[in-house]
Structure 1
Amino acid sequence: MSGQQGQVEVRAVSEGERLAWLRSVARTFLDPAVITEEGLRHRSPSWEGHRLTGAFDGDRVVGTYRSWDAPLPVPGGAGHGVLADHVSAVTVAPTHRRRGLLTRMITADLRAARERGVPLAYLVAGEAPIYGRFGFGAAVGTQSLQVRAPAPLQHVPAGAEDVVVELVEDADLRPEAPALHASVAAGSPGAVARTQRWWDVALGLDPAPGEDTKQRRTALLARDAAGAAVGVARYRAQEQWAGMRHDSTVEVTDLFAATPAAQAALWQHLVSMDVVDTVRLTDRPLDDPLPELLHDRRRALPAEASDQFWARLLDVPAALAARGWLGPPGACVLEVHDALGLAGGRWRLELAGGRVEASATADEPDVTCDVGALSAAYLGQTPLVALAAAGRVRGEAPAVAQLSAQLAWQPTTWPSHTGF
């Protein structure tokens, strides 16, 4: 991408400009860490195949943008996915805001993705109001749960008694956790893949320069009756005592499992540990089953909830055809408005056998919405009827309700953070 606006040029970042680019990212995100050449060398392998863009005011980097193409699971289960334009490291220096630099970077990237045949863009929004302007919609939510421990389980899925939970070190997960995570994520719409590099860094096998490796997480590895790995949890403890009484917290930062039984076995261990008073769980799905497993569901209460991943459709027919559909068979005419002119149009949607066919039509629309609203509903978590109640979707109530039911998907996305 290149272009001029006054003295600011937007273009690809050269090899020799990467350090200045990364320092600009850190400054704008208020990261206090000192970015060194060694730190850049450690980070650079994670950018293999990525597109790094910078806004340059002379030789100063005043804006940053990174994107890369990678598969993204969509509703329909394993085997259903699209190639998505993943977007990250989006910054504009405080000295150069309101000059259209973000607009130049993001619109050029989205248009290039559309031209490559990529049907979807995907990101984590640091500032929610920004990305709606470019057609993104909040598609995946996350919550934190706070559990008063001990919290006995009452409703345990069948097979949980056959799961064995092992206490291990982070590094012990390396041989089996990546494949298990990939398998679980493949059936979770919107779950971002973890690269082999991600695992090496996250598990402390290749720590960043200056990282305190003494503060490693503890891990749990669940195995089924045949000895296969079926679940992983990673956590860190904050031990605190006063007057010979403990007030300790365990923060679970990562938990995934191949089966409900394995997940329940991991929970059973975490909420019943000795000298632990609070278990805090981050990045959990909004419909996490933990409260329903407990004898007293009020021992696991939401501490906070927010959107996490935002989606942006770039090719509506291709994206709709790629996903599976659970709703009732039926047809409707859908009209989508797109201010950027990338994905707007009018299509007749015919749903049958869990698949949809979208064909261009001039018929009057049954449902009309902006591309951000359809993008928010695309992964199956955000109900179209809720967007209609907010005035973002228009149409007769039965038509909107039918399309909303068709777009819905269970289970919802497991929004585990991935070093996006």
Structure 2
Amino acid sequence: MEAVNAGEHLEVRAVEPDDQLAWLRASRRTFLHPKTVTPEHVEHRRTAWAGQRLTGAFDGDRVVGTYRSWDWPLPVPGGPGHELLTDHVSSVTVAPTHRRRGLLTRMITADLRAAKDRGVPMAHLVAGEAPIYGRYGFGPAVSGQTLEVRLPAPLAHLPAGAQDVRVELVEDADLRAEAPGLFAAVAVSRPGAVRRPERYWDEVLGLAPAPGEDGTDLRPALLARDATGAAVGVARYRTREKWEGMRHDTTLEVSDLFAATPAAQAALWQHLVSLDIVDRLRVTERPLDDPLPHLLADPRRALAGEGSDHFWARLLDVPAALAARGWLGPPGACVLEVHDALGLAGGRWRLEVADGRASVEASTATAGVACDLGALSAAYLGETPLVALAAAGRVRGEPASVARLSAQLAWQPTTWPTHTGF
């Protein structure tokens, strides 16, 4: 990325190896990271950075803004085989002393234009502040929920085959051989489930801890196996223990849970809600269609806590993105007009859906449905209903056309807000 001067000292440019320590310190300082960043932290990160683009905003020799992106596949609606190459954006910061001077706009617009030039159809990120990214065409496309279960909470409903699943109590390190492949097999069917690189597993399972972390903490985990002995489910958790007057007040925090079958998922939940001297279970970033409340004899024992957006998406090539995903709902066609304030992905197309596929061709006909790019990006992964965006005034058109397109964009299963570990 070429350096672009803005004033006497400010410039935005690619980060060189000698800049990386200052860049990492600036990024973590703005995110309020409490620990000292050392050269060892940079060495630990360089393996990941080798395939990524690091950009910095510099005021003289000081790093006052950071930005990182890399190309990475993302599952989209349609099931296995439906994947979209995306520009994955992260580490976006501007120092408090240098805000409102256009640094973020310069970093993000340059990156999005470069991604479009490479033929990447979509960008996505986790938004630390929700109001920031809408003006760049992003929309919240993947949400998650927090569930808190008051224990005891016996299960009353089990899918077929759950009784044949064997759950083993193991430690984190014992998952290394089987968890990555199982996660990959599960994630391909869930829109928005970001693939995890190999280094993620080494770090999170304590096999290659970051500097300052010795990896010796024992973390309990569960491994579910089917009748053949094949791994079909994984859960990782920790406990927050508190005792007063010999009475326990313990919270079990589930940090990860995924399974290849409903039976395996139910078996894992059954084990977790049955642990002794545990008073509540808390799990964050669960998909909106998580079956846990429906398994319980008393669904009110599982209280839905704070929900939140997780990933924000931004289409860069509307025809390519729409053609890459699968489609549900009734067959039919409409002329779709999309407005992009950055001028990267707007246009008008005739969109026809039939037999689970879409054809997209440029059109000059009058639009039946019109929206801003952020609205279409929010609806793209199938979670956000287009009709809800229409009720908010972000989608316009004939009510029947909007309703049909909304039904066509919807997808089951819903999105999955996974941890990425980059």
Would the TM-score normalized by the shorter structure come out above 0.5?
yes
Q: Does the 8 Å CA contact 1:122/1:312 hold for their aligned counterparts?
A: yes
* Aligned counterparts, 1:26-175, within 5 A: 26-175=28-177
Query: Within the alignment, does 1:267 sit opposite 2:269 as a pair?
Result: yes
Write the distance in 2 (CA, Å) between the matches of 1:38 and 1:104. Answer: 30
Residue 264 (structure 1) shift: 0.3
Letter matched to residue 353 of structure 2 = L
Q: Does the 8 Å CA contact 1:367/1:393 hold for their aligned counterparts?
A: yes
For the structure 1 residues 101 and 228, does the alpha-carbon distance in structure 2 shift closer, same or farther, using more than 3 Å as the test? same
* Structure 2, unaligned runs of 5 or more: none
Q: Does the 8 Å CA contact 2:337/2:349 hold for their aligned counterparts?
A: yes
For the structure 1 residues 172 and 222, does the alpha-carbon distance in structure 2 shift closer, same or farther, using more than 3 Å as the test? same
Letter matched to residue 17 of structure 1 = D
Instruction: Give secondary structure in 1 for the equivalent of 2:271.
Output: helix
* Aligned counterparts, 1:209-220, within 5 A: 209-211=211-213, 213-220=215-222
Q: Does the 8 Å CA contact 1:75/1:379 hold for their aligned counterparts?
A: yes
Instruction: Give secondary structure in 2 for the equivalent of 1:25.
Output: helix
Residue 282 (structure 1) shift: 1.0
Query: Within the alignment, does 1:398 sit opposite 2:389 as a pair?
Result: no
* Aligned counterparts, 1:180-329, within 5 A: 180-211=182-213, 213-329=215-331
The equivalent of 2:6 in structure 1 is 5
Write the distance in 2 (CA, Å) between the matches of 1:190 and 1:213. Answer: 30
User: Out of 382, 385, 396, which is 1:383 matched to?
Assistant: 385
Q: Does the 8 Å CA contact 1:63/1:90 hold for their aligned counterparts?
A: yes
Write the distance in 2 (CA, Å) between the matches of 1:233 and 1:46. Answer: 26
The equivalent of 1:346 in structure 2 is 348
Q: Does the 8 Å CA contact 2:141/2:384 hold for their aligned counterparts?
A: yes
TM-score, reference length from structure 2: 0.98
Q: Does the 8 Å CA contact 1:216/1:236 hold for their aligned counterparts?
A: no
Q: Does the 8 Å CA contact 2:207/2:215 hold for their aligned counterparts?
A: no
Residue 216 (structure 1) shift: 4.0
Instruction: Give secondary structure in 2 for the equivalent of 1:335.
Output: strand
Residue 314 (structure 1) shift: 0.2
Residue 163 (structure 1) shift: 0.5
Residue 172 (structure 1) shift: 0.3
Write the distance in 1 (CA, Å) between the matches of 2:232 and 2:35. Answer: 37
Instruction: Give secondary structure in 1 for the equivalent of 2:297.
Output: coil
Residue 16 (structure 1) shift: 1.0
Cα deviation, 1:276-329, whole Å, max 9, x if unaligned, reads 100001110122111011000000011211100000000000000000001110
Letter matched to residue 226 of structure 1 = T
Write the distance in 2 (CA, Å) between the matches of 1:238 and 1:305. Answer: 22
Write the distance in 2 (CA, Å) between the matches of 1:180 and 1:336. Answer: 38
Letter matched to residue 369 of structure 2 = V
Instruction: Give secondary structure in 1 for the equivalent of 2:329.
Output: coil
Cα deviation, 1:167-226, whole Å, max 9, x if unaligned, reads 001000000000001111111101111100110000000111112534442110001111
Instruction: Give secondary structure in 2 for the equivalent of 1:133.
Output: helix
* Structure 1, unaligned runs of 5 or more: none
Write the distance in 2 (CA, Å) between the matches of 1:81 and 1:67. Answer: 18
- Number of equivalenced pairs: 420
Letter matched to residue 407 of structure 1 = L
Q: Does the 8 Å CA contact 1:77/1:186 hold for their aligned counterparts?
A: yes
Moved more, 211-220 or 154-163: 211-220
Q: Does the 8 Å CA contact 1:223/1:229 hold for their aligned counterparts?
A: yes
Cα deviation, 1:14-57, whole Å, max 9, x if unaligned, reads 01110000000011111111000111111221222100000011
Cα deviation, 1:119-165, whole Å, max 9, x if unaligned, reads 00010000100000100000010111000111111111101011100
Write the distance in 2 (CA, Å) between the matches of 1:38 and 1:212. Answer: 14
Letter matched to residue 60 of structure 2 = G
Residue 413 (structure 1) shift: 1.3
Write the distance in 2 (CA, Å) between the matches of 1:216 and 1:258. Answer: 26
Write the distance in 2 (CA, Å) between the matches of 1:373 and 1:216. Answer: 44
Identity rate of aligned residues, in percent?
74
TM-score, reference length from structure 1: 0.99
For the structure 1 residues 131 and 413, does the alpha-carbon distance in structure 2 shift closer, same or farther, using more than 3 Å as the test? same
Write the distance in 2 (CA, Å) between the matches of 1:146 and 1:216. Answer: 24
Letter matched to residue 54 of structure 1 = G
Cα deviation, 1:89-113, whole Å, max 9, x if unaligned, reads 0000011100000000000000000
Runs of 4+ in 1 over 3 A off after TM superposition: 212-216
Cα deviation, 1:226-270, whole Å, max 9, x if unaligned, reads 111110000001122111211111000100011111000000000
Letter matched to residue 307 of structure 2 = A
